[in-house]
Amino acid sequence: MQTIRIDRLSHLLQTLAFCLVVASLKAYFEPGKAYAVSLVYSIAIGTCIWALIDFGRDRIDPGSATGWPRGWRSVLLLMVSIPSGFVVGITLGDRWFGWSSWQEWPSHRLLDSLMLTVVASAVISYFFYSRGRSAGLLRRAAEARRDANEARLKLLEAQLEPHMLFNTLANLRVLIATDAPRAEAMLDHLVAYLRATLDGARAAWHPLADEYARLDDYLALMAVRMGERLAYSLELPPALGKARIPPLLLQPLVENAIRHGLEPQLAGGRVDVTTTLEDGRIRIVVSDTGRGLGKGLQQPGFGTRQVYERLATAWGEAADVRFLPLEPQGTRVVIRLPISDRK
């Protein structure tokens, strides 16, 4: 509604400016005619035609993407609005000056004024229509890009979840044969993780707090399998818990830290995930004490590529991710992204 009001006010101001130009041209080509008379009639006629067209187009075809009626309805609107606005505008001008143009003006003068009004109204109406059409095309293009990005995020998420699930089931199969109690505990955590995943499956975005809850379930799954070889911590300030990100954005980073960093080490290690606010942006750090970049992530794996692609799809250049080595060993992944309130 606010956009419609601003658009309507913009049309009115541009119409008034166009009326000033028409009045000036008329006074220039008819030197004996008072400029004030031309100005009053031009503004009165232009404002009446603007009101009839601008309010009429919303009621005749409110669903039009360009803001103008489609097909014959647009022609009908102009054919009705221009003569009607001309008559009403002339009448208002007559009342302003206290005379009757219909009686005092010769018929050819009225006809010339009507023709000038038709031409001027057609020109400015086409100008408004062209701008509305261009704005509509840009709006549809933006909606198409947004829909494509949402679909791509869903596709990436759909590819990622089976990847994590298959790895977990493979580990569960080994534990069933070797340690039934731990396998049972691992299955309980898997059920909790899948329930949370299915609950959020309908949304392309979810709160950062929900992402941390999923990480907690996943790390609990890994802790059952790795035992004392895995330690972890998750730190999220309550104020940032409502910030929204695509589901499973951090999952592959934590999974890579365990698979490529900690599991190959006999002693295991720890994974830490922290979120802070830095210069008005969210800063998420996933660090581990594993084998490090030189011995672990030689090439970007499936999950790592997913992170790059999902950040680019969701935020473009407004988000970035960096992989850094830790001393004496380990890896730190730093993600910076805007604060988002998307649904």
Residue 5's pLDDT band (cuts 50, 70, 90): low
Query: What is the amino acid identity at position 218?
Result: Y
Is the pLDDT at 75 greater than 70? The verdict is: yes
The pLDDT assigned to 147 comes to 58
Residue 1's pLDDT band (cuts 50, 70, 90): low
Contact 183, 221 (CB under 8 A): no
Q: What is the pLDDT of residues 267-306, one digit of tens each?
A: 999 999 999 999 999 999 999 999 887 644 444 455 677 7
What lies within 8 Å, CB to CB, of 255 at 6+ separation is: 164, 167, 218, 303
Q: What is the pLDDT of residues 160-200, one digit of tens each?
A: 456 667 777 777 787 788 888 888 888 887 787 777 666 65
| Phi, psi for 322 (deg, rounded to 5) | -135, 140
**Which DSSP symbol is given to 240?**
G
What lies within 8 Å, CB to CB, of 101 at 6+ separation is: 90, 93, 94, 110
Going along the chain from its start, the domains and CATH numbers come out as 2-142 (no CATH), 179-337 (3.30.565.10)
* DSSP codes of every residue in 69-124: --THHHHHHHHHHHHHHHHHHHHHHHHHHTS-HHHHS-HHHHHHHHHHHHHHHHHH
Provide the b/e sequence for 100-137 (b: ≥16 CB within 10 Å): eeeeebeeeeeeebbebbbebbeebbeebbebbeeeee
Q: How many other CB atoms are found less than 10 A from the CB of residue 171? A: 18
**HSE, side-chain direction, 13 A CA sphere, residue 55:** 8
Spatial distance between the Cα atoms of 55 and 72, rounded to a whole number of angstroms:
17
- pTM of the full predicted structure? 0.53
Q: How many other CB atoms are found less than 10 A from the CB of residue 170? A: 9
Q: What is the pLDDT of residues 151-169, one digit of tens each?
A: 555 554 554 456 667 777 7
| Phi, psi for 180 (deg, rounded to 5) | -60, -45
The pLDDT assigned to 338 comes to 92
